[in-house]
Chains A and B, each alone.
Chain A
Amino acid sequence: MAIPKIVGIETEFGIMVRGTADWNPVSASSLLINAYVGSDIGGLDDRSGPVAWDFIDEMPGADARDLLAPEFAMPPEVETHLVNAVLTNGARYYVDHAHPELSTPECRDALSVVLYDRAAELILIESMQAAADALPDGQEIVIYKDNSDRKGNAYGCHENYLIDRNLPFGQIIAAATTHFVSRQVYTGSGKVGSELPGLTRRDIPFQLTQRAEHFEEEVGLETTLKRPIVNTRDEPHADSQKYRRLHVIAGDANMSQTATLLKVGTSAIVFAMLEDGANERQVLLDEPVQAMHAVSHDMSLAKPLTLTDGSTMTAIEIQWDLLAQAQSWADRFGLESVGEECGKVVLERWEQTLHALETDPDQLAGTVDWVAKKRVIEGFMDRHDCDWEDPRLRALDLQYHDLRPSKSLAARAGLEQIVSEAEAQRAIAEPPNDTRAYFRGRCLQKFADSIVAANWDSIVFDVGDDPLRRVPMLEPGRGTVDHVGTILDECESVHELLDRLGA
């Protein structure tokens, strides 16, 4: 039986300081986050309290392939000295390398991810406004939700899926590779030109994704060099006997909420199907890395991809095949593992999207980012009578991802909203109530003064005279409103809370 597909996404944002040539991204990211955490925008005095991130369980070097890991693999480093805050909605907001990064709280389904991803955008927008007060006149921090500076440097929007430890990793690799390569037809955020050496604007005027060209390997541990389509980081942040956290680095950050819904929702279904043993067949690509680039570069959406058996399929055909398997899986096993209502919506939108991609992709201008972006750019080219080499197109491309309401092109492109702004505003401060993020968020709201540190799978309380007490949270599906809502409502002190939890 498939386990609940608890999911979350972590987004590294692009950052720039305007109005000065003398700035560095680490300081700017720190200033941005500190300005937010220390601000009282929205009537909250204290968003994260004094609570710091607890690094005790961070092991980004652990490899899911165990002893098979190549000796020279480069695990990402954990930077413990940079700004790191835990928010009352259960999210983590921090400086990662040279970027501000926000990890959503653990979410029970893809619709919840869409809500917390929009809340993340609002948090970054408020952060820019808060930072403006701390900067000299004429300077401004600008945040972009994109994945590439279009000069060869990429940064990620990573997805995380809770997976049953009993599922053999080899099966995950096979299914994930095929899905990640072919889903690009609706998950891509679009990019003007190419970043690969030797390809000019004439060769590639526009492509489907930001990220595809930055992938060089099929499977591996790296995230900053020689990026692999399937990342093997084995850091479950949960009971490692029972769970795996599949860390997915192969996707674009999306401005379209529908694209985020599909990116996360279809992937959750693919992994739930595997756990149920319900995938009826496995399409295997002969050259996955080459195929990943080819799909991104192919505006006709019709390029045949060679499979290991020598036959060919297009990315859309592979997606139709996956959808047909998913529909038959849903009939047999139900959608509980991916969230009943959410699963239905995802299956419907998946089908509508593939149908439109096949018949008239322009219909997707309100839901698929690359279509929306291309439409704005082509409209501009018509009005200004310019071609793909015009330098302003790269500015349009970048500004599509600008989070400033006054400059964002995505905000003006007519993208369909799945979650209301009121719900998203609420989700800035309130955790989801159906994962362990509820316990983390509520504890921070109520007892921030007594919390020394927190991370994904524990909270450390300072109860005065006693030694510090760590409350483990190794079950991502426990600590929900159903489990601990009443206790959290009733407890007046941390002592009482810990007593009642039996901690």
Chain B
Amino acid sequence: MAEREQIRKNAPKPQEDAVEEEAPTSSESGEALKAELDDLLDEIDDVLETNAEDFVKSYIQKGGQ
């Protein structure tokens, strides 16, 4: 197990400076994603199928591989 731990810890991680450089991008994309989620949740009641329960019940798919 010690050997495996070693492998895992040796597995390359992003370098320190790389992380710092990337940080703004990742938080920007995080904010973009959050804005997308808010938009999605704003319209979800319109997008969501009416009678959700019946709709899901009627979804039956036989004969698949």
Residues of chain A at the chain B interface (Cβ within 8 Å): 12, 14-16, 25, 76, 96-99, 144, 148-151, 153-156, 158, 223-224, 249, 311-313, 317, 320-321, 323-324, 327, 351-352, 354-355, 363, 365-366, 375-376, 379-380, 383, 391-392, 394-396, 398-399, 406-407, 409, 412-414
Contact = CB atoms under 8 A, between A and B. Distances in A.
Interface of B: 1, 4, 7-8, 10-14, 26, 29-30, 32-33, 36-37, 39-41, 43-44, 47-49, 52-53, 55-56, 58-65
Contacts of B33: 365-366, 414
Secondary structure call for the B interface: helix
A242 B48 CA distance: 51
Given A99-B63, A376-B37, 14 more contacts: A15-B61, A16-B59, A99-B61, A224-B63, A317-B4, A324-B10, A376-B40, A380-B41, A380-B44, A392-B48, A398-B55, A398-B56, A413-B40, A414-B33
A76 B65 contact: yes
A409 B61 contact: no
Contacts of A151: 59-60
A311 B4 contact: yes
Contacts of B26: 363
A321 B7 contact: yes
B59 A398 contact: yes
27 contacts: A12-B64, A15-B61, A99-B61, A144-B59, A148-B61, A149-B61, A151-B59, A158-B65, A224-B64, A311-B4, A313-B4, A320-B11, A351-B12, A351-B13, A376-B37, A380-B44, A391-B52, A391-B56, A392-B52, A394-B52, A395-B52, A396-B44, A398-B55, A409-B47, A412-B43, A413-B40, A414-B36
Contacts of A407: 47, 49
A321 B47 contact: no
Contacts of B59: 14, 16, 144, 149-151, 398
Ordered nearest first, which 3 A-B pairs have the shortest CB separation? A155-B64, A414-B36, A395-B52
Contacts of A327: 12
A244 B1 CA distance: 35
A271 to B, nearest CB: 21
Contacts of A409: 40, 44, 47
B49 A399 contact: yes
B10 to A, nearest CB: 7
Contacts of A380: 41, 44
A321 B6 CA distance: 10
A406 B44 CA distance: 11
A153 B13 contact: no
Contacts of A321: 4, 7-8, 11
Secondary structure call for the A interface: mixed
B3 to A, nearest CB: 9
B41 A379 contact: yes
A96 B61 CA distance: 12
A126 B18 CA distance: 43
A380 B37 CA distance: 10
Contacts of B37: 375-376, 379, 413-414
B6 to A, nearest CB: 10
Given A321-B4, A327-B12, A380-B44, A150 B56 contact: yes
B62 A153 contact: yes
A115 B14 CA distance: 28
B40 A395 contact: no
A137 to B, nearest CB: 18
A311 B64 contact: no
Contacts of A148: 61
A249 B61 CA distance: 17
Nearest to A313: B4
A16 B64 contact: no
Contacts of B58: 16
A265 B60 CA distance: 32
B32 A414 contact: yes
Nearest to A144: B59
Nearest to B1: A311
Contacts of B53: 391-392, 395
A311 B1 CA distance: 7
